[in-house]
Amino acid sequence: MAVKRAGLGKGLDSLIPEGKKTVPAKKTEEKIVEKVVEKVVEKVVHEEQKVKISKVEPNREQPRRHFEEDALLELADSIRQFGVLQPLLVQKKGDYYEIIAGERRWRAAKLAGLKEVPVIVRDYSEQEVVEIALIENIQRENLNPIEEAMAYKKLLTEFKLKQDEVAERVSKSRTAVTNSMRLLKLDEKIQQMIIDEMISTGHARALLAIEDKEEQYNLATRIFDEKLSVRDVENIIRQMKNPKQKKEKKVVENSFIYKDLEEKMISVMGTKVSVNQKGNGKGKIEIEYYSNAELERIFDLLMSTAQN
């Protein structure tokens, strides 16, 4: 028999059959060789079968934590009309089946009131289950940025994979994986804002330049309240890191003398007079007027004083 090879990095289609296959009457299962996590493991592939939906439970290590209610309701309507078109990928766990891929379909099927769901039973290691669930969600763009980052972190920390290996398995660049995981360095409140789509990942990456968690959160709330662009945020952070030092006004010695002269000129002119000192004995005198008649009066006063 021809040997079929498939790998996690090749996509989920190589792991989940598109539809029910025709199997000879005396043959209920076949063996294939599958490359998983850089080693060859012999697997047994069972044909599609139906099980009670009450016997199926989600995987607790599923990367995805948030499911849009409206999208689930739409899928539930479709399932009522056409049924579950693609079987769930599950594995046997004692007296129940744990979902490896297809939790969204399972949830929608429950909403649709189905009593049974089609499944394909497989047997995988814990690491393989995490990888398959991650690949499925990434391919369907179901994960929010924080869920995706946490899944990458799990593969790195719990299963001791390198970033290059993780990137290969999910068909992403190493840079994309690295940038995704950097989001986990943000304050938890900001991570929740990303999940709630209050700020974008572009905003979030810009906020990573701020080390202080409180300052991060304060700016994050400004982004949401003021609808700031990523460019706006970058400019604000640049100003925060390189504040322009305010020029201190030089205090002129004996300033009380200038104040006294100012008051005397006001009493003579009968209008507001300002004496502005620049230091080193320099400055300027400003005399205010409020009408043409007052300007002529001040002019006559100055001329008469000059003639005297």
* Assigned token pair, 193: 């804002």
For the chain, the farthest-separated pair of C-alpha atoms sits apart, in whole angstroms, at 131
Can you tell me whether residue 56 is helix, strand or coil?
A: strand
Phi/psi for 54 (5° steps) reads: -70, -15
* Assigned token pair, 277: 């000192």
Active site residues: 103
DSSP 205-220: HHHTT---HHHHHHHH
Between vectors from CA 145 to CA 109 and to CA 180, what angle results, nearest 5°? 140
Measured torsion, CA atoms of residues 11, 16, 18, 19, in degrees rounded to the nearest 10: 180
Phi/psi for 73 (5° steps) reads: -65, -40
Task: List Cβ neighbours of 68 (8 Å cut-off, separation of 6 or more).
Answer: none
Count other Cβ atoms within 10 Å, centred on residue 204: 24
27: left (phi over 0), alpha (psi -120 to 50) or beta: beta
Count other Cβ atoms within 10 Å, centred on residue 48: 16
Distance CA(164)–CA(251), nearest Å, equals: 62
Determine contact, residues 147/66, Cβ cutoff 8 Å: yes
Determine contact, residues 138/105, Cβ cutoff 8 Å: no
Kindly state the helix (H) or strand (E) to which residue 231 belongs, with its residue range. Answer: helix 230-241
